[in-house]
């Protein structure tokens, strides 16, 4: 879309978001001056869904190249919360084979199924998708990445799901912090007290790994409860990280699921600014509508 149309879109979305009470309190300064009412619909305009149908996107979490995150992740979660992870993880396959991904991806393409597909950059601390995965050859990793680029990218947005989806990584060393506790797991407490800049730095680390293997990203998927009580900083951090690494125009992220009740599941706009200039900015929180 051209610049003027894009600015109108973001401005209208931001106005509607303020009216619905979706922005954190206090409202960010960038939108304090906007009216607190939703713009009225023009009588001569009707909004239609594409092809007259309700669009549905499939959100696939916990996926990556080759590594079965459940096999390697469950024992790490069990170390922190022993009673909550009784699954017999040793009985699970350690690998999600490319043959399965190919069958699934081809079926989706044939039936017009599209959405978001995670690639965890350092899955459960097993290995790096831009370096090597112990247990798989360099050629196997290279072919798995090629499959994602050639088969999945035409229909799916690619996201990192933080760095490991298990332990928090010290981005100065590339190694997990030594303490296995909620305070140093990506799914739980570590992210709840971090500033927007700290979260942006952490997310940018994950994004750069995927950029190293030529996977484009315009958004982030949060693992578990990542940033659940720190959403204003999470949104701003996403905006900064995705723009810095990929230059994406309107970064988005997945954080919450609303699968019952009457609460709206419309996308939620955070930190809108520059709406009247050549470079409007915002982060969009896309809400999932079904649980696991």
pTM to 2 decimal places = 0.84
CB 140: neighbour CB atoms within 10 A?
16
Percent of the chain as helix, strand, coil, to the nearest 5: 40, 15, 45
In a shared domain, residues 182 and 282 = no
Do residue 95 and residue 134 come from a single domain? yes
Chain Cα centroid distance, residue 155: 16
| Distance, CA of 233 to CA of 194 (rounded, Å) | 8
d(CA 202, CA 169): 9
Count of structural domains, the chain: 2
What pLDDT is attached to residue 34? 34
Backbone angles phi, psi at 281, to 5 degrees: -130, 145
Task: Please indicate, yes or no, whether residues 235 and 223 belong to a single structural domain of this protein.
Answer: yes
Q: Report yes or no: 123 and 67 within 8 Å, Cβ to Cβ.
A: yes
What pLDDT, on the 0 to 100 scale, is given for residue 49?
85
CA–CA gap between residue 225 and residue 213 (Å, rounded): 27
Containing 273, the helix (H) or strand (E) segment is strand 268-273
Alpha-carbon distance of 191 to 143, in angstroms, equals 34
138 and 76: one domain? yes
Low-confidence ranges of the chain (pLDDT < 70): 1-41
Range of the domain at 104: 56-249
Q: 282 and 153: one domain? A: no
DSSP 241-257: HHHHHH--SS-EEEEEE
Residue 163, φ and ψ in degrees, nearest 5? -95, -55
* pLDDT at residue 4, as a whole number: 52
Calculate the alpha carbon distances from 56 to 183, 210, 223 in Å.
Answer: 35, 26, 22
CA distance 279 to 83: 49
One DSSP character per residue, 24-52 reads -SSPPGGGTTS-SSPPPPPTT-----GGG
pLDDT at 29: 38
Shared-domain flag, residues 34 and 130: no
Residue 50 is predicted with a pLDDT of 84
Q: Are residues 107 and 209 in the same domain?
A: yes
One domain for residues 239 and 263 = no
Q: Are residues 79 and 31 in the same domain?
A: no
Q: Does residue 183 share a domain with residue 282? A: no
Q: Indicate left, alpha or beta for 146 from its phi (over 0: left) and psi (-120 to 50: alpha).
A: alpha
Q: Are residues 70 and 136 in the same domain?
A: yes
Residues 285 and 184 in one domain: no
Is 168 within 8 Å of 199 (Cβ atoms)? Answer: no
Q: What angle do CA 276, 234, 155 make, to 5 degrees?
A: 80
């Amino acid at each position: 879309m051209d610049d003027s149309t894009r600015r109108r879109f973001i401005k209208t979305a931001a106005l509607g978001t303020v009216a619905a009470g979706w922005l954190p309190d206090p409202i960010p300064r960038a939108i304090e001056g906007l009216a607190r009412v939703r713009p009225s619909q023009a009588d001569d305009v009707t909004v239609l869904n594409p092809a007259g149908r309700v669009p549905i996107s499939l959100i696939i979490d916990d996926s990556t190249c080759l590594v079965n995150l459940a096999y390697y992740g469950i024992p790490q979660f069990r170390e922190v919360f022993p009673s909550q992870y009784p699954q017999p993880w040793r009985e699970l396959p350690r690998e999600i084979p490319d043959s399965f991904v190919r069958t699934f991806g081809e079926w989706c393409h044939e039936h017009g199924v599209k959405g978001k597909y995670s690639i965890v950059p350092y899955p459960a601390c097993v290995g790096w998708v831009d370096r090597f995965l112990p247990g798989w050859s360099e050629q196997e990793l290279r072919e798995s990445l090629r499959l994602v680029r050639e088969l999945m990218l035409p229909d799916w947005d690619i996201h990192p799901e933080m760095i490991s989806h298990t332990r928090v990584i010290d981005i100065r060393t590339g190694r997990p912090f030594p303490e296995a506790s909620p305070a140093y797991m990506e799914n739980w407490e570590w992210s709840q007290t971090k500033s927007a800049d700290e979260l942006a730095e952490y997310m940018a680390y994950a994004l750069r790994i995927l950029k190293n293997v030529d996977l484009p990203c315009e958004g982030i998927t949060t693992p578990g409860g990542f940033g659940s009580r720190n959403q204003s900083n999470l949104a701003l951090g996403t905006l900064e990280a995705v723009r810095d690494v990929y230059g994406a125009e309107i970064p988005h992220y997945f954080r919450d699921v609303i699968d019952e009740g009457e609460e709206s599941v419309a996308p939620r706009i955070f930190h809108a600014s520059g709406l009247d200039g050549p470079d409007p900015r915002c982060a969009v929180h896309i809400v999932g509508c079904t649980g696991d």
